Amino acid sequence: MTTGKNYIGESLSAKGKTTFKTINPELNLENETVFYEATEDEISEAVLLAEEAFKTYGTISDIKKAEFLEAIAEEIESLGEDLLTTYVNESGLPAGRANGERGRTTGQLRAFATMLREGSWVEAIINKTEGKPDIRRIQIPIGPVAVFGASNFPLAFSTAGGDTASALASGCPVVVKSHPLHAGTGELVASAIIKAAKRTGMPNGVFSNLNSGGIEVGKTLVEHPSIKGVGFTGSIKGGTALCKIAANREIPIPVYAEMGSINPVLILPSALQNEGEKWAKNYAGSITAGTGQFCTNPGLILGVDSKELENFISILALEIDKLEPTCMLHPAIKSQYEKLKSEVLEQQDYTQLTNLDKEVKPNYALQNVISVDGNTFLKNKTFHKEVFGPFSVVVKCDDIEQLNKIIQDLEGQLTGTVLNADLKEFEDFKEVIDNLKNKVGRLVFNNVPTGVEVCSGMTHGGPFPASSDAKFTSVGLIAVKRWVRPVTFQDWPDQLLPSALQDSNPLNINRTVNDIITKNPI
């Protein structure tokens, strides 16, 4: 059951007068629950509780943190149909997607718990040589972290999503700024986290959840001097605004923002000659998956002009036109989609490929694909813009040289994809692919970019504006690196060192001792 209140640590609170409701985009009606936006006092109380909790939580064992994360997963699952129903009513997404995203959310919590139980994530380094200082280094948590829920993933990138899971794994308390589009889903998940915290003996304040219908709560939260880092998934506008706020503080803090991407797809000639129809059908599904509301949506498809490329384009358009339009997350997101799409369609010298005459329900998005030649794309940056929704641009390049220029002209991206059926072809496109690699965080071969595996090798980030810092990922176990910093102990007594650095290696973890990775005691 949702109350519409904020979780300030373990306590529910509704001191403010500013309220809002979520919307069921499928029905185009407001949901019943009234949500109370957090006041400045409630924000401060949540952060100060987190600061106090950090004194304990930042030093507890990895085993205890693992138990906490596993308990969160169990409590989320115990919410049952109530969570799934609320998710669907607030997002317009189908029940199957809700169930799958819940599984991903609990799966990544358990993955971080497994990482903690193994223990080597702390990157213990020991340099102990006769006649030299005894130097030992380890990663420690930075302190209370602010996490912003994402609009397009009410579970996996929100209240208990990857940012929260990785921060809690690192030892950082979390204050979530819940997304207003799915505040009810957020409150239910928050209640599960609080239950798990109590159940496993975590300190009050290790987690809080703040409601917000606008931007003021997030701004105030990031400005608070006790917040030491920020996790954000959303628009370039929102992410860059947070980066500026964080940089202008008396003591600046890092903002790990995952923002915009059009995810270029490079189709080499052999892929079109051998499997053009297959790829056209696959990409029709990828462009429209989740109503195009994935940060990895393939918004740009590039190829050298040929009969095979024309055939691919024709099949892609036909396959997309076969698909029924689906519901977007919110009227405001549908409105923004139409606005950005209109800006592109107001340009000159493109070919409309899909049918724009279909009638659609309120908040449903009509999918759209257009094509342009390479010269037009190079001259007109409007065609480079991300249109958040089921929209994609196919660029017909004159030759490899022009294709290379286009790749070099692109901004940073989350993903880049290469479709190929003959590896001998790579020699001709080597420079193009090398340039694509330098623009992206993940390079995909013979697949679609939609779908992000949660694992230690994943990079979900990329050069700006795909993310604010290309050295980090917001998905996978390595995401924990955002919330830690190294500290070196020099000539400390063994019994006073953290367990991970003690001579006997009581945690039995992998450590780098005099530049050799080993579990052996010293």
Quote the radius of gyration of the chain (alpha carbons, Å): 24
Residues 252, 268 within the same domain: no
Residues 180, 243 within the same domain: yes
Name the domain boundary from 396, 428, 445: 445
Structural domain contains residue 504 = no
Q: Which residues are catalytic?
A: 258, 295
Residues 46, 190 within the same domain: yes
Which whole-number Å values give the CA distances from 256 to 182, 309, 354, 386, in the listed order? 22, 38, 37, 20
Q: Find the CATH number of the domain harbouring 213.
A: 3.40.605.10
Per-residue pLDDT tens digits for 147-166: 999 999 999 999 999 999 99
Structural domain contains residue 457 = no
The mean pLDDT of the chain is 97
Structural domain contains residue 35 = yes
Residues 158, 276 within the same domain: no
Domain hosting 136: range is: 6-259+472-482
417 forms beta bridges with 265, 444
Structural domain contains residue 521 = no
Residues 247, 395 within the same domain: no
Structural domain contains residue 319 = yes
Number of neighbours of residue 16 by Cβ within 10 angstroms: 16
Per-residue pLDDT tens digits for 191-233: 999 999 999 999 999 999 999 999 999 999 999 999 999 999 9
pLDDT at position 357 is 87
Residues 427, 398 within the same domain: yes
Residues 232, 248 within the same domain: yes
Structural domain contains residue 505 = no
pLDDT at position 430 is 95
Structural domain contains residue 134 = yes
Mean pLDDT over 244-268 rounds to 97
**What is the dihedral angle through the alpha carbons of 259, 257, 223, 182, rounded to the nearest 10 degrees?**
70
Q: Find the CATH number of the domain harbouring 353.
A: 3.40.309.10
Q: What is the pTM of this model?
A: 0.96
Q: What pairing do the DSSP bridges indicate for beta strands 511-513 and 135-141?
A: unpaired
| Contact criterion met (CB below 8 Å) for 57 and 171 | yes
Residues 290, 336 within the same domain: yes
CA 346 – CA 353 distance, rounded (Å) = 15
Sheet architecture: strand order including 440-445: 351-352, 368-373, 391-397, 300-304, 264-267, 413-419, 440-445
Per-residue pLDDT tens digits for 319-365: 999 999 999 999 999 999 999 999 999 999 999 999 988 889 999 99
Q: In the chain, what percentage of residues exceed pLDDT 70?
A: 100
Residues 279, 247 within the same domain: no
- Quote the tokens at residue 143: 């302190």
Q: Does the structure show a pLDDT above 90 at 41? A: yes
Mean pLDDT over 168-186 rounds to 98
Residues 240, 268 within the same domain: no
pLDDT at position 451 is 87
Residues 338, 281 within the same domain: yes
Structural domains counted in the chain? 2
Count the alpha carbons within 13 Å of 295 in the hemisphere toward its beta carbon. 28
Per-residue pLDDT tens digits for 439-486: 999 999 999 999 899 999 999 999 999 999 999 999 999 999 999 999
| Contact criterion met (CB below 8 Å) for 483 and 145 | yes
Structural domain contains residue 488 = no
Please, which residues have CB within 8 angstroms of residue 349's CB and are 6 or more apart in sequence? Answer: 372, 373, 376, 380
Residues 202, 230 within the same domain: yes
